[in-house]
Amino acid sequence: MSAKPDSAVPECTHRPTCPGCPRYAEPGISAAAGLRLRALAAETGAALAAPVEGSPLGQRRRARLMVRGRARSPKIGLFQARSHRIVDIPNCFVHHPVVNQIAAALKRAIRATDSQPYADARHHGLVRSVQIVVERASGKAQVVVVTNSESAEPAAALLDRLREEAGDTLHSLWWNGNAERTNVILGTHWQHILGAEAVSESIGGADVFFPPGAFGQSHLDLADALVQRVHECVPRRSRIVEFYAGSGAIGLGLLARGQAIAFNELNPHGLRGLELGLDALPQPARSAAERLPGEAGQHIGALAGRDVAIVDPPRKGLDAALREALPRSAVQRLVYVSCDLDGLTADAHALLASGSLRLRELTPFALLPFTEHVETLAVFDRM
């Protein structure tokens, strides 16, 4: 049964073809997600908190949008379900207004330079997609234009015109090359065109830096609340290891509080953001940090001597080696930030099977309003 629609949410003209908001105007998390969380809480004896919500409109500061159509009439938006047919979404209400402004500027640049959008079936055309990230402090956008080429040269005129069209709205501009037949959005080729190296956000009491290839949350106000709750779960003077740390959005603030942390991350863009964040801290905090690049399962030795482990794994959940090592370690508390209920449920059952851990609490966060997605904070304690 769906929640009652919010009458204050304006009618969206892009529905029903746009798949981005399947629960448009419905508050909170989906009924299905709520049911699964209640079942997990009942099965494990964990306390289940009410969903944490924020404003659903104008909050999405991070967007990846496909570019299709023709040079004279480009479309920028999302694919319809199970197809490569694009839904043009120029007036998306959940996007931050600057996202819509940059998309409009890119359309003008495509038309002015006669740059052909990509065609999937023929693997032809230049402009494949655009990534837009809006920085809170400046209100400006970090923009990545992804093209079907292995160098930025074919896109030079387009990028120059986009600089003109976007004007002062640009925080930075990047080219990314993806010439493969793939549904993966970002390719392996990068070129920094102008502006700062990374978007900077104040999160949890620290400056956190996001290069364009690093992961970041789109609803930053709710992400702030999630990070604050994680910090509350970490006792002072704890010895901490954080796996899947990304650019340090969770752990850098704990360093600023005087904690000592070992950070694990695989993605080189996330590691670069983490390096920038560490460099921005005063020396005592920097000296309390250790970096562990590579897969999480390669660094289970870092659990030794730690009081608290923080994990924020991808949708598939924990690396098998880490999942097996956590119950056997001396870690007294595990703080698990989950982006997928399937992964969380499987990991929770595996972690609890040893009998050495208990699931204390679950807190859902509606980080992607109007979708089926739920971000869940799970806290495990040693028995």
Tokens 């679950």, located at residue: 362
The CATH number of residue 280's host domain is 3.40.50.150
The CATH number of residue 102's host domain is 2.40.50.1070
Please list the rounded mean pLDDT of every run of 10 residues in the chain (383 residues).
Answer: 68 95 96 98 98 96 98 97 91 98 98 97 97 98 98 98 98 98 96 98 97 97 97 94 98 88 98 97 93 98 97 97 97 97 97 97 97 97 96
Whether residue 86 sits in one domain with residue 180: yes
What is the C-alpha to C-alpha distance for residues 3 and 1, in angstroms, rounded to an integer?
Answer: 7
Q: Is residue 257 part of a domain?
A: yes
Q: Is residue 261 part of a domain?
A: yes
Burial (0-12, 13-18, 19+ Cβ within 10 Å), 357? buried
The pLDDT score that the predictor gives to residue 4 is 63
Beta strand pairing status for 333-338 and 308-311? parallel
Whether residue 172 sits in one domain with residue 48: no
Whether residue 366 sits in one domain with residue 229: yes
Whether residue 78 sits in one domain with residue 41: no
The pLDDT score that the predictor gives to residue 7 is 64
Beta strand pairing status for 333-338 and 289-293? unpaired
Whether residue 230 sits in one domain with residue 343: yes
The pLDDT score that the predictor gives to residue 2 is 46
Whether residue 177 sits in one domain with residue 75: yes
Q: Is residue 156 part of a domain?
A: yes
Q: Is residue 253 part of a domain?
A: yes
Q: Is residue 290 part of a domain?
A: yes
Q: Is residue 25 part of a domain?
A: no
Q: Sign of the CA dihedral 189, 210, 238, 225?
A: negative
Whether residue 185 sits in one domain with residue 75: yes
Whether residue 303 sits in one domain with residue 189: no
Whether residue 223 sits in one domain with residue 173: no
Q: Looking at 149, 165, 197, which one is the last position of a domain?
A: 197
Q: Looking at 162, 197, 232, which one is the last position of a domain?
A: 197
Q: Residue 275: which of 239, 246, 301, 232 has the closest Cα?
A: 246
Q: How many domains does the chain have?
A: 2
Q: Is residue 207 part of a domain?
A: no
Could you tell me the residue range of the domain that residue 247 belongs to?
31-56+219-382
Q: Is residue 226 part of a domain?
A: yes
Whether residue 235 sits in one domain with residue 164: no
Give the C-alpha distances (Å, rounded to integers) separating 325 from 26, 82, 245, 303, 328: 40, 39, 18, 8, 5
The pLDDT score that the predictor gives to residue 76 is 98
Whether residue 265 sits in one domain with residue 171: no
Q: What is the pTM of this model?
A: 0.95
Q: Looking at 197, 230, 250, which one is the last position of a domain?
A: 197
Whether residue 164 sits in one domain with residue 227: no
Q: Are 14 and 91 in contact (CB under 8 A)?
A: yes
Residue positions counted in the chain = 383
The pLDDT score that the predictor gives to residue 5 is 64
